[in-house]
Amino acid sequence: MSAVLEPFDAIDTGRDCAACEAGDQVADGRLAQPSRLSVEGVSLDYRGERGPIRATHRVGFDVLPSERFVLLGASGCGKSSLLKAVGGFLSPTEGRILVDGRPIDGPGPDRIAVFQEFDQLPPWKTVLENVAFPLIASGSSPRKAALEQARHWLARVGLADFASAFPHQLSGGMKQRVAIARALAMKPRVLLMDEPFAALDALTRRRMQDELLALWEQERFTLLFVTHSIEEALIVGHRVLVLSPHPGRVRAELNAQGLTPAQRAAQANRIERLLFGGPAAVDAFSEPVAAERAAALN
């Protein structure tokens, strides 16, 4: 198998990604300047009964400002753990995580997460209160301004008419839109999404992916998105980091931007081989990609 990269395998360093250079195109200045996220050689361990459980082993990647970056891998490869670590809820055993060159020190409003669960919204609060609550609780905005911001973001996700509804009155997709509005209202520098659409039916999931991309077109936030769906990774991501099974290690970093349908199908096949095809696939993809990426960064 040839180790030569085809054009759509080339690492996207952001130079041909208009969006990645669009830190100054944030709509109305409503979101904070998108940040660069660097994960450097991060190993994550949990305390198990019989000693530490290694979730990821020396994982490294860079997410450029306004880039959509996807972590893809089988169940248990450490995707959520990486997101928790970037969120500041889990400290690396080795390696470090930086936002705009500064090591993170615990959770912060610059990194906000949206999860898969529908019950991430307190059920006793209205939709409007749910979106405004973190702004008020964190002291980011006084109540009146927070409610205004919340209305703005609800309109952005198409839920202006549901401000007074309670979460149980919404569909799964609508609840996820509320969660996205709530996250974006905090003006994060990096938006973290952990399988946000995994619990939705196929049609709603597809629509939500399109809506997320449309929202990103307007707001150009830096996005770190976790999924175990190859299809979703190629729809959502500019780049996709493929992780090996437990403990997660980087198998390859692949371009997912600007692909024709045929290229996307080929890329999906490659990812499938990377995930399930054994060491040959690693030789064919990981090493040249890693080398090219290193060269591009130096």
Ligand X SMILES: Nc1ncnc2c1ncn2[C@@H]1O[C@H](COP(=O)(O)OP(=O)(O)OP(=O)(O)O)[C@@H](O)[C@H]1O
Minimal distance, residue 117 CB to ligand X, in Å? 12
Tokens 């979106």 belong to: 131
The yes or no reply on residue 76 touching ligand X (CB under 6 A) is yes
Minimal distance, residue 224 CB to ligand X, in Å? 13
Give residues 200-239 in contact with ligand X (rule: CB under 6 A): 228
* Coil, helix or strand at residue 110: coil
DSSP letter at 92? Answer: -
| Choices 48-56, 167-175, 176-184, 288-296 (CB under 6 A): range interacting with ligand X | 48-56
Nearer to ligand X, 55 or 208 (CB): 55
* CA dihedral for 271, 273, 278, 282, sign (positive or negative): negative
Nearer to ligand X, 117 or 292 (CB): 117
Which of 37, 42, 72, 77: binder of ligand X (CB under 6 A)? 77
Distance, in Å, from the CA atom of 191 to the CA atom of 194, rounded to the nearest integer, reads 10
DSSP letter at 187? Answer: -
Contact characters 2-41, ligand X, x per CB under 6 A: ----------------------------------------
Nearer to ligand X, 55 or 200 (CB): 55
Minimal distance, residue 271 CB to ligand X, in Å? 15
Which of 38, 80, 209, 244: binder of ligand X (CB under 6 A)? 80
* Coil, helix or strand at residue 183: helix
Which of 36, 79, 205, 238: binder of ligand X (CB under 6 A)? 79
Which of 38, 43, 81, 222: binder of ligand X (CB under 6 A)? 81
Which of 39, 42, 55, 70: binder of ligand X (CB under 6 A)? 55
DSSP letter at 89? Answer: S
* Coil, helix or strand at residue 64: coil
Distance, in Å, from the CA atom of 10 to the CA atom of 290, rounded to the nearest integer, reads 10
Nearer to ligand X, 79 or 239 (CB): 79
DSSP track, 119-174:
GGS-TTS-HHHHHHHHHHHTTSS-HHHHHHHHHHHHHHTT-GGGTT--GGGS-HHH
| Choices 69-77, 134-142, 178-186, 208-216 (CB under 6 A): range interacting with ligand X | 69-77
Nearer to ligand X, 57 or 239 (CB): 57
Contact of 113 with 89, CB cutoff 8 Å: no
Count of beta carbons in the 10 Å neighbourhood of residue 106: 8
Tokens 């997709």 belong to: 173
Count residues near ligand X (CB under 6 A). Answer: 14
Helix axes 127-137, 172-185, angle to 10 degrees: 30
Interacting residues with ligand X (CB under 6 A)? 46, 48, 53, 55, 73, 75-81, 228, 246
